[in-house]
Amino acid sequence: MQSLRAAIFNFAFVSERRKFGGINIRNWIQLGLMFLTGLWLWLQLWPTAAATAAGILILNFIYGRAQKARYTTFSPIPQDGLPAAEPLEPDQKIPVRGTGTFYSGETESNLLMAAGELWLQPVGTVAIMLEAAPEIFKYQFVEPDRIESLRLGNVSFGGTTQPAIDVTFMSNWAHTDELFSNDTQSLEESKYKKRSLMLMFDDLESATRVHQTLV
């Protein structure tokens, strides 16, 4: 069931981004189904027209679910299946790909599996830096005591499966000049917002080390 869902989400992701004649594949499929629905109605083939119209609704439902799930399927790993790993050392950087809301100054961006780095700051906060575009970086900061949900597992995305962490936490965002300071009092004055991130790693050991850091 998970493999079927992953295949469907992968199709949704690819068909929304690949274009033919300036129109993405998803819109071509919808246009085709709408044309067939109109044709069946004109021929007074009511059951066939109803089935084709239902196909349009199902298609939109699938794309909606895929977008909500960020085109990924997540399978938790049992705790007894995890390798022994120590938490990250301060300032030790690990390659990561991330999906979620990231910031730069006063602007925020919703990124999809953007590449970057993750590290543990000396103050205990986990920093994540992703490259939203060439030489344009976005950030997010996770405080372990602000985490509401933390899962370690495997995520399928774009036809590949990798170790990943799914984390929901209260994000405390401040202006850029405050981000790399140790002035925690100024950070506490900003408003917290609930955010969810999907973080993918090159290997299970790296994912486990980050998980141990966040626990």
For position 190, what pLDDT does the model report?
52
Element housing 185 (H / E): helix 184-188
Domain boundary among 36, 69, 102: 69
Same-domain pairing of 123 and 83: yes
**Residue 188, domain CATH:** 2.30.29
Residue 83 has a pLDDT of 73
Residue 2: per-residue pLDDT: 62
190-to-12, 142, 173 alpha-carbon distances in Å: 37, 14, 7
- How many other C-beta atoms lie within 10 A of the C-beta of residue 136? 10
Domain hosting residue 152, numbered range: 75-214
99 and 51, same structural domain?
A: no
Integer Cα distance of 108 and 87 in angstroms: 29
Are 39 and 56 in a shared domain? yes
Among 69, 99, 126, residue at a domain's last position: 69
Sequential pLDDT tens for the chain (215 residues): 667 777 888 888 888 888 888 889 999 999 999 999 999 999 999 999 999 999 999 999 999 988 888 788 888 887 776 777 889 999 999 999 999 889 887 788 889 889 999 999 999 999 999 998 888 899 999 999 999 999 999 998 877 889 999 999 988 764 444 444 444 444 454 567 889 999 999 999 999 999 999 98
Let me know whether 159 and 125 are in one domain: yes
Residues 18 and 114 in one domain: no
Pick from 114, 140, 148, 143: which is nearest to 213 by CA?
143
**Which helix or strand (DSSP H or E) is residue 55 part of?**
helix 46-68
107 and 203 in a single domain? The answer is: yes
Question: 107-116 long-range contacts, Cβ below 8 Å, gap at least 24?
Answer: 108/173, 109/138, 111/138, 112/70, 112/71, 113/157, 113/158, 113/200, 114/138
| Residue matched to tokens 């490259």 | 131
* CB of 167 closer than 8 Å to CB of 142: yes
Domain shared by 141 and 176, yes or no = yes
Do 102 and 190 reside in the same domain of the chain?
Answer: yes
pLDDT for residue 69: 80
Neighbours of 73 (CB within 10 A): 23
Q: pTM to 2 decimals?
A: 0.74
- Can you tell me the distance from the alpha carbon of 93 to that of 209, in angstroms, rounded to the nearest whole number? 11
Give residue 21's pLDDT. 85
The H or E element spanning position 205 is helix 204-214
Q: At what angle do helices 25-42 and 46-68 cross, to 10 degrees?
A: 160
Give which of 148, 140, 153 is closest to 99, Cα–Cα: 140
